[in-house]
Structure 1
């Protein structure tokens, strides 16, 4: 598995904190992603840095766990 980047980490957090609002028919995950993206793009720089650092930390942990991993799309 690939390590998650800052956006994916934020999107996962956003889902966990807003999933109750999206229960029921007619609510699509694509809509949730659009809302998350809108908030992501308006995050202050210091908040964005938090997620960037989490992404870097996850990447470093991934390197330790899978030292021979090579991304092959």
Structure 2
């Protein structure tokens, strides 16, 4: 059988969005050099995850609800697309 990824939860959706915004801000702050690479030091994934986690915990309930709704919609779509899907973690 083909691998079916799990539907993304609210935090994962929030994190993807936050990472994209952080990278965009970093690219603006550090314009591309001649060779096409971003100048300056990139933020480590671990540090980025910590700051995003803190942002998530401090998110107002209405904003967090928006992410929960998006996740619920994605989950419904996933269930419709893959009705027999059951999460089976690798052992």
- Normalised by the length of structure 2, the TM-score is 0.73
Greater helix content:
1
* Aligned pair partner of 1:54 in 64, 70, 85: 70
Q: How large is the RMSD of aligned CA atoms in angstroms?
A: 1.6
Name 2:51's counterpart in structure 1.
Answer: 35
Which one has a bigger Cα radius of gyration? 2
Match of 1:4, SS state, is coil
Shift of 1:8: 0.3
**In the TM superposition, what is the alpha-carbon distance from 1:45 to its structure 2 partner?**
0.5
Higher relative contact order (CA 8 A, sep 6+): 1
CA drift at 1:25 = 4.0
Pairs aligned (count): 73
Question: How far apart are 1:27 and its partner, in Å?
Answer: 2.4
Q: Using the alignment, how far apart are the partners of 2:58 and 2:21 within structure 1?
A: 18
TM-score, normalised by the number of residues in structure 1: 0.90
Counterpart for residue 14 of structure 2: 10
